[in-house]
Structure 1
Amino acid sequence: MLYVPKLRLSFKMFASLRIAFVLLSVFLTTVISASAYAQPLLFKAERGDQTFYIYGTVHVGPNNQITVTKQIEDVLGVSDTLILEAKMDQSVQFPTTSRFQVAQVLEKNELKQLETIASEIRIDFGTLQSLPPWHAALILQQTTFTQLNYYSEFGSEHQLSDWAKGNGITIDGLETLQFQIDLLSQQDEGGKEMLKQTLLEWPHNAHNIQCLLASWQAGDIKNLSAMLEHDSDSSDFLKRLLIDRNDAWVAKLTNSTKYQKGTYFVAVGALHLVGPNSVIGLLRSNGYSVTQLSRSEEAKCIMKTHV
């Protein structure tokens, strides 16, 4: 039977391992090469009566992943609100039809590769061919993470949300889950390039996941930034996926009457915190004093590509 991914996790399973896996980075404890003292990115941004603690998240993980460390407890505990990309208890309308199907958008050699992959991971090839390309790409990546025993319930958002609820802290979202699903489903040609990139990067799947995870755990800003720069000319989708959302989030944080006074813990995907158009960079340009609270180290790995 074809496995259809959970909605919350599926949004994070984007096409390019070099771009999108950053948004769904997973914590792999057995391959992390950085020092035990290195930490995922955590910043403090202050302006006037506003204080934001900004944390780079991973959206899935193994059952032994620990997000709420003593440091996180300390800063989340003094925050008025936990602000996530999107609240996790929202309902969404998952698209049921599409003008484009996998069989229509892939070349013969790509379909052959997809058939081989489907056989390897035990997914029905015929069903994959009938899906929109973006949905097929999600299923391929979801299956890989399931095989590695990584699940959304062990990701940062779930752990932070559980802690906040248990300690009476309000939870808010910068956008909706429906917006996230629509962002995927409304790609050009049904997400053709997303699926093609997934197939292109497939041979380096395991290595790239490990490198991304190591970079997240180490808080390796240089490595994470390099991953973004490598794909800076990928497509308009990258702009809509990262840059436009960063702009919208910072506008909401800086202008919303809800956040004009107080202390807030903001938790978003780690790659939203690096690069010239990052949440951190935008806050600085808006007059916030920003300090990194976490300790970063080199992850000692590089991404492999098809080139």
Structure 2
Amino acid sequence: MRRTIVFVFTLLLGFFNPSVQADNPAASKATAAAQKQTIPQRGTLYRVTYRGNTSYLFGTVHVGKTAFYPLEPEVTRAFSAARKLVIEVDVRNTEAMRQAVMRHGLYPAGQTINQHLSADASAQLRQALRRYGTPFESIARMKPWMVANLLLVQEMARQGFPSEQGIELHFLSLAEKQKKTVQELETADYQLSLFDSMNDAEQEEYLVENLTELANGAAMQKALDLITAWQSADAKALDAALLEMQKGENASDRFLQKVLLDQRNPAMAQQVEALLRTDKTSFVAVGALHLLGAKGVPGLLQQRGYTVQKLY
């Protein structure tokens, strides 16, 4: 489940309106003081500098709820100062998403998921679909990795964390209002191709593991643990979550670490390098796990000689 939180796509919600008490200085100060006390730090925020240029790196989760907003004032100030928003994928490009799903998430016409699953895995899938009230016909041509992620997203929404309230879409909305340039680090086609790189056996293992954890509640517990750590900017808990995944021996944890993190982080760091050489100020919002550890984007940039400061 953690991998879905980190890599699934998202939306927005409102933010604090500082003009409410604008004509009452005393009230404004009281409001600011209350805001400082009540708004928790969320995620993790870094500042990377190079020859007078600055790139802020903010770790997100790709789902959300109204209680996530407003974000920490330090984050909103960094975002406002930036001339460009940089995200993993611009999810507003629905046509690119559709084409990527068609190319990587569906079997060719005439093939169904049953033809690629063992009898036991197929039976477990049908049981899960009945539990979610999802007709088999609606997922018949989907590949196992896509079905697994779809059910994970549905469960997150049922638990009060819909992807349409996620952090990236919040930033995209703000970028549109503030007329900021938006740049992608990756494409939808590339991201979905990573899941499609699993062979049939790996995809079945990925599906069965997720179905099992959805059924016994382990998936949601892991998800809630990570979200709780993100909501309180609990660096130790976030690092512990990463360490647990690195030690994991199942297909999902191996895929997350080797493909979704180790394979992508160096390319992300390289693109941040390019931003630092060309852009005065940029704000980069990516899944929080990309920013953790020696192999995270900030760690890689520091190893390459850039000045990296963890703001919180």
CA 98–223 in structure 1, closer or farther in 2 if over 3 Å, else same: same
Deviation (angstroms), 1:285? 0.5
Q: Alpha-carbon deviation of 1:236?
A: 5.2
Report sequence identity in percent.
26
Alignment of 1:19-168 (within 5 A): 19-24=3-8, 37-66=40-69, 68-90=71-93, 91-92=95-96, 93=99, 94-95=101-102, 97-98=106-107, 101-125=112-136, 127-128=138-139, 130-168=141-179
The residue identity in structure 2 corresponding to 1:289 is: T
String of CA shifts for 1:256-305, please: whole Å, max 9, x gaps.
6x8434111110001111122101111111112222212xxxxxxxxxxx
Q: 2:224 aligns with which of 210, 216, 238?
A: 210
Residue 23 of structure 1: how far off its partner (Å): 3.6
Report whether the alignment pairs 1:251 with 2:270.
yes
Equivalent residue letter for 1:103? N
Q: Which deviates more, 99-108 or 141-150?
A: 99-108
Give the CA deviation at 1:162.
1.1
CA distance in 2, matches of 1:143, 1:247: 31
Aligned in 2, Cα 1:109/1:134: closer, same or farther, shift over 3 Å?
same
CA distance in 1, matches of 2:55, 2:302: 12
Which has the larger displacement, 55-64 or 97-106?
Answer: 97-106
User: CA 1:237 to 1:41, structure 2 compared with 1: closer, same or farther past 3 Å?
Assistant: closer
- Write out per-residue CA displacement over residues 220-245 of structure 1, whole angstroms, 9 at most, x where no aligned residue: 23322332333335435632211111
Matched, 1:193 2:205: yes
Q: Structure 1 length normalisation: TM-score?
A: 0.77
SS in 2 for 1:290: strand
2-structure distance, mates of 1:226, 1:69? 23
Change (3 A) 1:45 1:197: same
Task: Determine the C-alpha separation between the residues in 2 that align with 1:87 and 1:163.
Answer: 14
Q: 1:166 to 1:68 in 2, by over 3 A?
A: farther
Q: d(CA) in 2 for partners of 1:67 and 1:193?
A: 39
Residue identity opposite 2:295 in structure 1: N
Q: Which amino acid aligns with 1:223?
A: A
Shift of 1:101: 4.7
Name the TM-score, length of structure 2 as normaliser.
0.76
Deviations 1:105-150 (A, max 9, x none): 4444433332222221111245545531112112211221232343
Structure 2: 5+ residue runs without aligned partners? Answer: 11-37
Q: Matches of 2:305 and 2:135 in 1, distance apart? A: 53
- Is the counterpart of residue 289 in structure 1 residue 298 in structure 2? no
Of the structure 1 ranges 280-289 and 100-109, higher mean CA displacement relative to structure 2 is found in 100-109
Instruction: Say if 1:144 and 1:201 are closer, same or farther in 2 by CA, change over 3 A.
Output: same
Greater mean deviation of Cα atoms: 201-210 or 263-272: 201-210
The answer on 1:184 being equivalent to 2:203 is no
* Structure-2 residue corresponding to 1:225: 239
Cα displacement (A) at 1:160: 0.9
- Decide which structure has greater helix share: 2
CA RMSD of aligned residues (A): 2.7
- In the other structure, the counterpart of 2:297 is 279
Distance 2:223 2:279 in 1: 39
Report the CA distance shift for 1:201/1:82 in structure 2 as closer, same or farther (over 3 A). Answer: same
